[in-house]
Amino acid sequence: MKHNVEPKARVFEYMAKTCKRRQDWIKKETPTTAETLEMYPRLLDPGIIEQDFRLAISEETNQLYAKWPSLSQKIYQYNNQVLKIQWQDQLDLGGTDIEKLTEKDRQELAMSVLPLLFVGRSKGMKGRCTPAESLRSFIDMKPEGTDIQHFMATIPAKERPQPFILLLGGTRFKPNQVFMVVERKAVACSSVLQAVDTCMKMIYVLDVDYQPQCSAVWKLLQHVVYGLPPGTLTGVSLINFRTWLKHLTED
């Protein structure tokens, strides 16, 4: 069933039955992301990665959708009160009145704000990367009219094997198209939020490491939103935010 066209229900049933075997293989053989997707290309079918996540990782599958409306507001509040980073210009939104955006648009935009507030580290080097590198590794954006097949072909597979989000056209809060990209394959998503959720679940199901440049963002989502193992929240910037968040809820 690797490449055959099968009824959707049958595909879901087959992938559910083989989920444990697939996870055991990934843990034991530690294949590359490319090798896993070559063996199980159906993982990129709509809904399959969510099913594998629910069966193998956690039954709590709606954490991001449940928590993000409230947490995204606190992200803006934390920056306004503590960090005071001028992120609007970095997202080409200098002339946009953020307060006039709809709640949905503000929630979508907050995902692009995160990597500018919580910057990751340079790949293979000590120290932090630039905010622009942190943003690009988490949510890349290309102009309308970009040839997506050409873009996929030019992605350096060894440098960007992990899933990331790609926006085409529009704005950071209302893109024309949204994709989750992994191993030069683009999976269409209905929103930035869905793309981030799919990325997180893909990372866990495939058992891959976070991209260093945006690792701080993924760790924040892992511990504050999803509540997933392993480890605990580390890094001064993330611990400071969690402490502020805790005090905020206690007041």
Q: Which domain holds residue 85?
A: 63-250
Are 120 and 182 within one domain?
Answer: yes
Are 92 and 146 within one domain?
Answer: yes
DSSP letter assigned to residue 174: S
For the chain, the domain total comes to 2
- Which pLDDT belongs to residue 251? 62
Q: Is residue 3 part of a domain?
A: no
Q: Is residue 2 part of a domain?
A: no
Q: Is the pLDDT of residue 63 over 70?
A: yes
Are 145 and 198 within one domain?
Answer: yes
Are 87 and 187 within one domain?
Answer: yes
Are 122 and 212 within one domain?
Answer: yes
Q: Give the relative orientation of helices 103-117 and 192-206 as an angle to the nearest 10 degrees.
A: 50
Non-local (6+) Cβ contacts of 184 within 8 A are 152, 153, 155, 157
Q: Is residue 244 part of a domain?
A: yes
Are 76 and 176 within one domain?
Answer: yes
Q: Is the pLDDT of residue 2 over 80?
A: no
Are 68 and 47 within one domain?
Answer: no
Average pLDDT value over all residues in the chain: 93
- Which pLDDT belongs to residue 6? 65
Are 38 and 162 within one domain?
Answer: no
Q: Is residue 92 part of a domain?
A: yes
State which of 35, 56, 77 marks the end of a domain: 56
Summarize the confidence of residues 222-244 as an average pLDDT.
93
Q: Is residue 150 part of a domain?
A: yes
Summarize the confidence of residues 219-226 as an average pLDDT.
97
- Which pLDDT belongs to residue 158? 75
State which of 56, 75, 93 marks the end of a domain: 56
Summarize the confidence of residues 29-37 as an average pLDDT.
95
Are 94 and 118 within one domain?
Answer: yes
Summarize the confidence of residues 232-250 as an average pLDDT.
90
Are 43 and 160 within one domain?
Answer: no
State how beta strands 164-170 and 139-142 pair.
parallel
Q: Is the pLDDT of residue 114 over 70?
A: yes
Are 51 and 74 within one domain?
Answer: no
Q: Is 156 left (phi over 0), alpha (psi -120 to 50) or beta?
A: beta
- What percentage of the chain has pLDDT greater than the value 70? 96
Q: What is the CA radius of gyration of the chain?
A: 18
Summarize the confidence of residues 130-143 as an average pLDDT.
96
Q: Is residue 1 part of a domain?
A: no
Q: Is the pLDDT of residue 188 over 70?
A: yes
Count H helices, E strands: the chain?
A: 12, 4
- Which pLDDT belongs to residue 3? 52
With bands split at pLDDT 50, 70 and 90, how would you rate the model's confidence at 4? low
- Which pLDDT belongs to residue 5? 55
Q: Is residue 164 part of a domain?
A: yes
Are 38 and 71 within one domain?
Answer: no
Q: Is the pLDDT of residue 151 over 60?
A: yes
- Which pLDDT belongs to residue 124? 66
Longest dimension (CA), the chain: 57
Dump pLDDT digits (tens) for 97-113.
999 999 999 999 999 99
> What pTM did the predictor assign?
0.93
Is the CB of residue 178 less than 8 Å from the CB of residue 194? yes
DSSP letter assigned to residue 126: S
